[in-house]
Chains A and B, each alone.
Chain A
Amino acid sequence: TQLLEQSPQFLSIQEGENLTVYCNSSSVFSSLQWYRQEPGEGPVLLVTVVTGGEVKKLKRLTFQFGDARKDSSLHITAAQPGDTGLYLCAGDSSGSARQLTFGSGTQLTVLP
């Protein structure tokens, strides 16, 4: 069974602060996806990283895939209340996003 551990599980910060969420596994994934989920909604895909060492930026969000494709991080710069949500990483071992293993989730709250 492939497991993805996310840390921290909960994070509460003030608007304007920076934060990093980590996603770690002992398994190698062909790609890794990050989702954000708001209450009452399904997860929404933020990014997919495929290549070991890859870095992708989405406005204030920076995603990195580990060189060995076993871990990933999400860094948010100058967090805003709109960033509040449940952040989920999901590893794909099938090569086609058809067998996703979801991480344990990080609940982020950004206080105004």
Chain B
Amino acid sequence: SAVISQKPSRDICQRGTSLTIQCQVDSQVTMMFWYRQQPGQSLTLIATANQGSEATYESGFVIDKFPISRPNLTFSTLTVSNMSPEDSSIYLCSADRRGTDTQYFGPGTRLTVL
């Protein structure tokens, strides 16, 4: 399996500020993804992080609100911009390890916006 780390693990932020979440994978992967999850609920895909190019966003998510970078095969960042309390959620990074066709998940970042 791939080992995926995220930081920060949790944060409490003020309305109107931005937070950047980092995701690091221990081995080369093909695809990296960002999800949002309300506690105890299912996962919603935000976007696919593409290496060296703009991320591919799902319906309801836009680059201005959730800019994503992926400068290399093993690292990606998600920024939650101009936060409001509605952005309070768990943000998860996942990756599929080359040759396995299986997605592995990071531990998540629990964000609370006041």
Contacts and interface: CB of A to CB of B under 8 A. Distances in A.
Contacts of A90: 43
A42 B94 contact: yes
Interface residues on B, range: 20 to 34
Looking at chain B's contact residues, the main secondary structure is strand
A40 B108 contact: yes
Nearest to A86: B40
B28 to A, nearest CB: 16
B42 A97 contact: no
Contacts of A97: 96, 101-103
Interface residues on A, range: 20 to 34
Interface of B: 1, 4, 30-31, 40-45, 48, 92, 94, 96, 101-108, 110
10 contacts: A42-B105, A43-B105, A88-B43, A96-B96, A98-B30, A98-B101, A102-B42, A102-B43, A103-B42, A104-B41
